[in-house]
A = this chain, B = another copy of it.
Amino acid sequence: MQQRNPGGDRQIFIQEVCPRDGLQNEAVFVSTEDKIALINQLSACGFAKIEVTSFTSPKAIPALKDAEEVMKNIRRNPAVEYSVLVPNLRGAERAMACLIDEANLVMSASASHNFTNLRMSREASVEQLSLVINALKGSSAAINLSLSAAFGCPFEGDVAEATVLRLIEHFALREVRGITLCDTTGMAYPSQVASLCRQVKQQFPQLEITLHFHDTRGMALANTLAALGEGINRFDAATGGLGGCPYAPGASGNVCTEDMVHMLTLMGYQTGVNLESLLEISRDLPRLIGHNVPGSLARAGMRSDLHPMPASLEQQFKGCVPAGVQL
């Protein structure tokens, strides 16, 4: 970081995951109509990509049981890629029927986390996702793999870098477009992020790499900074900082989109995201989900949102003629 605005107009792609990763963790069912309205609003904010929903079994994630209806009824902005989570072949068929732009496959870098989430071994996940990839290749959908627990597992602890790299290799051989390194339960720390990003970029220069942080332990923006330093240009984030993990109680959610965009913009990076519009959406989220959001900016306002001086002091201040040393 050599100058005050190291961004130097570098383009950063922000991928909004609130409608999927955020809402799937909420106790209330947000109505299909409200979901569609939310996504339509987000579509006008300047995101590179929006993760719309998940084509999992409605029994597994009832919050997103309206996946088809949402995906088919949103107003698509041609400048935005619409991605959906696809866990298996059945999900891929449902997703392709909705003409998605991207299928986001998912498995975990840790054996116990993969088993807990997907009820199978990692080896079985790789095989099953290979079939999903084959099926998707008949469509125009791009394919991304989200690798959960890539920076640590809430049950096992550390996950070896070598394991993460070997898993990525399996999917690179199957020619997915991108890989997302997911810090599912907020275990990543900046030097670890830098190290893994460097190796993944070096070994797989053909892949589009996304970083997906959770702010569980307050390090999400520090981790973002570390990833930026390694040339990473794509980040997942959720408006309001919604999200979480059912197996890590007390954990807070995804990195908050407006907090991330605010920091990146101050640093001179170009995200294309309209922060004012995004803040309006974030401040309306409590109406949909019934509680306050964890992100900072909706509460504190932007750095440029100044406050008035206490009225009783303002007149005195204006009349105060500085005396004494020369400043």
B interface footprint on A38-63 (CB within 8 Å = 1, 0 otherwise): 00000000000000000000000000
Chain B residues closer than 8 Å to A120, beta-carbon distance: 320
Contact B115–A320 (Cβ < 8 Å): yes
- Whether the Cβ atoms of A306 and B157 lie closer than 8 Å is yes
- Is A300 touching B250 in the complex (CB atoms < 8 A)? yes
Q: Can you tell how many copies of this chain the complex includes?
A: 2
Q: What are the residues of chain B within 8 A of A309 when measuring CB–CB?
A: 112, 115-116, 155, 247
For the complex, would chain A's binding face be called helix, strand, loop or mixed by DSSP majority? Answer: loop
Complex interface: stretch among A17-25, A134-142, A182-190: A182-190
Say yes or no: A323-B124 contact (C-beta < 8 A), given A218-B256, A221-B219, A303-B187: yes
A262 to B154, CA, bound (A): 17
Contacts of A37 in B (CB 8 A): none
Q: Could you say which of A65-73, A84-92, A291-299 contacts chain B?
A: A291-299
Interface positions of A from 80 to 125, Cβ below 8 Å from B: 111-112, 115-116, 119-124
Docked Cα-Cα span, A217 to B5, in Å, equals 18
* A27-35, A162-170, A204-212 - the one binding chain B: A162-170
Q: Are A324 and B170 in contact (CB under 8 A)?
A: no
- Check: A215 CB closer than 8 A to any chain B CB: yes
Q: Does A78 contact B (CB under 8 A)?
A: no
Which of B124, B187, B195 makes the CB contact (< 8 A) with A322?
B124
